[in-house]
A and B are shown apart, each in its own frame.
Chain A
Amino acid sequence: MISETQALVLVFLLMFLPLMLFFASRVRAGHEVSLRRIPAFEALPDLIGRAAESGRALHIGLGSGGVGGEETASALAGLSVLGYLADQAAIFDCPPVVTVADLALLPVAQDVLRNGYLRQNRLHGYRPTAVRFLGPTPAVYAAGVMDILAHEGIVANTMIGTMGDEYLLIGETGAKHGLTQIVGTSNVGALPFVFATADETLIGEEMFAGGAYLSRLPEHIGSLLAQDWMRLLLVSAILAGVLWRTVF
């Protein structure tokens, strides 16, 4: 027998799926969609340009989370941005420094970076050591990134993934060295620190929209539209619930 909560989640998922497929097919058919501006995604190509001009590396941090747990979706959001930056890094021949704190995420990040070089027919430029495993705990990861930002001639810092309080140590080091920082996290507790230190921020759900904004795949744009409709539905349900409880 399935519980009430399980049934609700199942219904929610079953409603989400057709909406996603419907909007993806509309976008594929040529339906124009205007996405609101997200300055962080607009600033990403500029970072690669600056890295290419200065001959210095761009740091791409995937945060202290990994794949296989609750933080998987955040790690995937980071990988989606890494995929885009890998293409750009291969085109402009400016290898980034990618850091991870999860052992299972390490080969995945290496594969995503390698695929970027492969897509641009520049596999000779790919180095597996461009992706570094710094340590499995937030403090060790933060210490590793602080050292890289301070001593390896990094031109800008991009961090998208799961981050906790340790982000402040990283963000302040970046700010102290005058690095342009683009940071996105889904952790509400770390957002004040991100807001205090980063030039551009990806707050909450914005970090999951990377695929739609950067690769413009119809399926990604479709899923973004489905997400908006589901949000409207949820907000309407909340408002209806409040009215119901207030009146009856």
Chain B
Amino acid sequence: MKRKFSILSSIYVVIAGAVGVIVLLGFFVEIEGLHLQDIQTILLDWAVTVAAFAFLLGAVNVVRVNLMRIRQRKGGLYSMVTLAAMLFVLAFGLTDGPHSLVVQWTFEWVLVPLQATLFSLMAFFVVIAAWRVFRLRSLESALLLLVGVLILVSQVPLKFPWAEDLTGFKNWILAVPAMAGARGIILGVTLGIVTTGLRLLLGIDRPYSD
């Protein structure tokens, strides 16, 4: 996939690269009289202001998608409820501000309990997922099952002859092999993030233009 050259695209790359380099340098370099940190703060403030406009785009997107669903009769009833709720909260938010009692009440007594209810289902989902993973299919899954069962048993507050050994084994599994694996993954992710950042600064990755 080869990119076509365009002046506009090059301007975007230069602006994005320059802003990126200034913000990055602000973290490392202090040059007297240049006040890089101040410039960095101003640029980050601008980014926040620009991002705020995305709220408008988001609201338009929610309306358009839900109207489309109503027209196509794909969960139209839920879409009507979504739009009605959005307009309801928006109306009170615009008239009384974000600290409006109705808006606060909606968040506290509708949104928060609904989110908590959804996450409370996690326990059942974890059991189903564990059931699928702990099936004996290969040597790896057998090992996973064995270690999983031993760790589960070690968490049970029962007194049996080798309970202390089992707790020691659990601690070792969590502190040594599991931690080593997790740190390996985190190291790789960090390198991946640095590479992605550098590609963005150099204009190789251009999510803002093609």
User: Residues on A close to B: CB < 8 A?
Assistant: 1-2, 6, 9-10, 12-13, 16-17, 20, 67-68, 73, 76-77, 79-80, 87, 103-104, 106-108, 111-112, 115, 118-119, 128-129, 131-133, 137, 139-140, 142-143, 147, 151-152, 165-166, 168-169, 171-172, 175, 186, 188, 191-193, 195-197, 203-205, 207-209, 211, 215-217, 219-220, 223-224, 226-227, 230-231, 234
Contact = CB atoms under 8 A, between A and B. Distances in A.
Contact of A129 (B61, B129, B192, B208): B61
A133 B118 contact: no
The 6 closest A-B pairs by CB, nearest first: A208-B192, A205-B188, A139-B115, A196-B129, A103-B54, A205-B192
Among B121, B122, B126, B195, chain A packs the most CB atoms within 10 A around the CB of B195
Contacts of B204: 217, 219-220, 223
A104 B28 CA distance: 27
B57 to A, nearest CB: 6
A223 B196 CA distance: 9
A227 B199 CA distance: 12
A73 B192 contact: yes
A68 B204 CA distance: 19
A107 B189 contact: no
Given A103-B58, A128-B64, A204 B121 contact: no
Given A17-B198, A192-B133, A216-B1, 5 more contacts: A129-B68, A133-B61, A168-B122, A208-B196, A230-B191
A203 B192 CA distance: 11
Nearest to B132: A196
Contacts of B182: 188
B207 interface: yes
Contact of A204 (B57, B188, B208): B188
B194 A197 contact: no
Given A128-B64, A139-B119, A227 B192 contact: yes
Nearest to B78: A147
Contacts of A195: 133
A68 B119 CA distance: 26
B61 A172 contact: no
Given A129-B64, A139-B115, A188-B185, A169 B122 contact: yes
B55 interface: yes
B74 A151 contact: yes
A6 B57 contact: no
B128 interface: yes
Given A13-B198, A205-B192, A106 B58 contact: yes
Contacts of A224: 195
A172 B78 CA distance: 22
Contact of A16 (B51, B78, B185, B198): B198
A155 to B, nearest CB: 16
A131 B189 CA distance: 27
A208 B196 CA distance: 7
A220 B205 CA distance: 9
Given A73-B192, A205-B191, A231-B188, A106 B122 contact: no
Contacts of A227: 191-192, 194-195
B74 A107 contact: no
Among B121, B122, B132, B186, chain A packs the most CB atoms within 10 A around the CB of B122
B102 interface: no
